[in-house]
């Protein structure tokens, strides 16, 4: 389950209006409501037939106990009615099960509802710029080489041999290039651990249930790499294993908030992106990323989201990389997000900002799919947690930004001050 079916029944018009804000015509609740009506009719009928069948069983037992003959006319008639009911139930039960499966499968195709505070808009052109940081660090763009050119000149990025090993959109990091990647990973992890995140090193092969729980499946199957002989996929982001650590669990309220960070390689087919960013580190099939994931109480959700954005921003500020924060409008929200802020870093060679982190609040959307709940001490029942995640940051895009923003006229790269203790170099 994803969207709350009970809520859809009670507020179908309101839910449809919220889905329409996403500007996607395929999200029509009418079929869900039609199937749900049929399912409830069958469920009611089955329940009534089952109750009558149980009543007949008890009546027969009581009459025989009171001396009626098992072969008597009354008992035989009751048995015939009971057999007829069992035949009807045998027909209804699979119908009910099939309809329920269809409804659940259909609901998996529906995206999250946008938060009321998400700005209305038809597409990315109507996203809202929230703030900019670091204008004073924007270098003169004249003469700055794209990161892939300076990287190849310095011998730290090797795209040609990566094609020989795998295919296009892979890269070999060589020498100081590999060391810079490790430095960025270590710096990001150390920074997030210092502000309260618990590091996890999860599996990077994940099962179908995990990808379904965080909403990559079934809609985005073509974006992921699957192992042909196993129910395992290469993880597209550490969001998947970190969130699914708690799949199917009921947590105690005092365990929340849970804040995890992880570095993993990430794998994406980039289906549908033909011709986009074919050069460089921006859109690779394999890349490293430090991910931040939170499980929180609903009432803390908004504040934890703002804090998550600030945690990601802190990395860019420490590296002194100019960036801006964009709030995504309803027409550009990711499938599972109720509210999202993108961080976009400045790339001088293109004279533009490019996304380097997407910080999303999913409300209870993923928690419903993954069945992650919590229980308050002394209170009846359980509630779904709210899940949040964001990149803190994408390593390859951060490296691209460093190679361009710290490029010197003599063709070398100044190492950001905060990375110098990790890299043990001041200049590349």
Where are the chain's structural domains? 5-107, 124-423
Residues whose CB is less than 8 angstroms from the CB of residue 405 and which lie 6 or more positions away in sequence, other chains included? 137, 138, 139, 321, 322, 346, 348
The CB density around residue 357, as the number of other CB atoms within 10 Å, is: 29
With 80 as the cut, is the pLDDT of residue 24 above it?
no
| Catalytic residue flag (residue 53) | no
With 70 as the cut, is the pLDDT of residue 274 above it?
no
Q: What would the pLDDT profile of 55-83 be if each residue is shown by its tens digit?
A: 888 888 888 888 888 788 888 888 888 88
With 70 as the cut, is the pLDDT of residue 275 above it?
no
CA distances from 308 to 45, 150, 305, 343 (A): 50, 33, 5, 12
Among the listed residues 46, 247, 283, 354, the single catalytic one is 283
Place of tokens 């009581």: 62
Helix 395-405 × helix 176-194 angle, to 10°: 110
Q: What would the pLDDT profile of 304-324 be if each residue is shown by its tens digit?
A: 999 999 999 999 999 999 999
What is the pLDDT at residue 1?
47
Average pLDDT over residues 174-192: 98
Hey, what are 301's tokens?
A: 């959700």
Q: What would the pLDDT profile of 143-172 be if each residue is shown by its tens digit?
A: 999 999 999 999 999 999 999 999 999 999
| Catalytic residue flag (residue 268) | yes
Domain covering 5-107 in this structure, CATH number = 1.10.287.40
pTM of the model: 0.91
With 80 as the cut, is the pLDDT of residue 271 above it?
no
CATH fold group of domain 124-423 = BirA Bifunctional Protein; domain 2 (3.30.930)
Residue pair 227/205 in contact by the 8 Å Cβ criterion: yes
Among the listed residues 21, 22, 268, 373, the single catalytic one is 268
| Catalytic residue flag (residue 397) | yes
């Amino acid at each position: 389950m994803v969207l709350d079916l009970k809520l859809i029944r009670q507020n179908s018009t309101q839910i449809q209006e919220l889905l329409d804000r996403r500007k996607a015509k395929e999200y029509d609740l009418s079929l869900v409501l039609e199937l749900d009506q049929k399912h409830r009719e069958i469920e009611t009928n089955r329940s009534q037939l089952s109750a009558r069948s149980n009543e007949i069983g008890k009546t027969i037992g009581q009459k025989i106990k009171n001396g009626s003959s098992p072969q008597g006319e009354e008992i035989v008639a009751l048995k015939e009615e009971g057999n007829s009911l069992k035949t009807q139930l045998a027909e209804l039960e699979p119908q009910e099960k099939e309809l329920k499966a269809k409804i659940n499968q259909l609901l998996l195709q529906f995206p999250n509802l946008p938060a009321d505070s998400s700005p209305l808009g038809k597409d990315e052109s109507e996203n809202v710029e929230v703030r900019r940081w670091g204008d004073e660090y924007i270098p003169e763009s004249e003469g700055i080489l794209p990161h892939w050119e300076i990287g190849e000149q310095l011998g730290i990025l090797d795209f040609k041999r990566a094609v020989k090993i795998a295919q296009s959109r892979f890269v070999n990091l060589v020498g100081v290039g590999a060391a810079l990647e490790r430095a960025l990973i270590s710096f990001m992890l150390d920074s997030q651990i210092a502000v309260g995140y618990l590091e996890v090193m999860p599996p990077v092969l994940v099962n179908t249930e995990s990808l379904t729980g965080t909403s990559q499946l079934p809609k985005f199957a073509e974006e992921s790499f699957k192992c042909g002989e196993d129910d395992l996929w290469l993880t597209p982001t550490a969001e998947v294993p970190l969130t699914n650590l708690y799949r199917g669990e009921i947590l105690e309220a005092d365990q929340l908030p849970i804040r995890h960070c992880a570095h993993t390689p990430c794998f994406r087919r980039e289906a549908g992106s033909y011709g986009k960013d074919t050069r460089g580190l921006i859109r690779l099939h394999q890349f490293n990323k430090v991910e931040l994931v939170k499980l929180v109480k609903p009432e803390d959700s908004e504040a934890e989201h703002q804090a998550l954005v600030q945690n990601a921003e802190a990395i860019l500020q420490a590296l002194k990389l100019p960036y801006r924060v964009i709030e995504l409008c309803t027409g550009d929200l990711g499938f599972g997000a109720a509210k999202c802020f993108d961080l976009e870093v400045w790339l001088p060679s293109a004279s533009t900002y490019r996304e380097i982190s997407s910080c999303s609040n999913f409300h209870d959307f993923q928690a419903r799919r993954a069945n992650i709940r919590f229980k308050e001490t002394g209170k009846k029942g359980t509630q779904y947690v709210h899940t949040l995640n964001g990149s803190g940051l994408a390593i390859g895009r951060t490296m691209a930004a460093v190679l361009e923003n710290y490029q010197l006229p003599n063709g070398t790269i100044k190492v950001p001050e905060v990375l110098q203790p990790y890299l043990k170099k001041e200049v590349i």
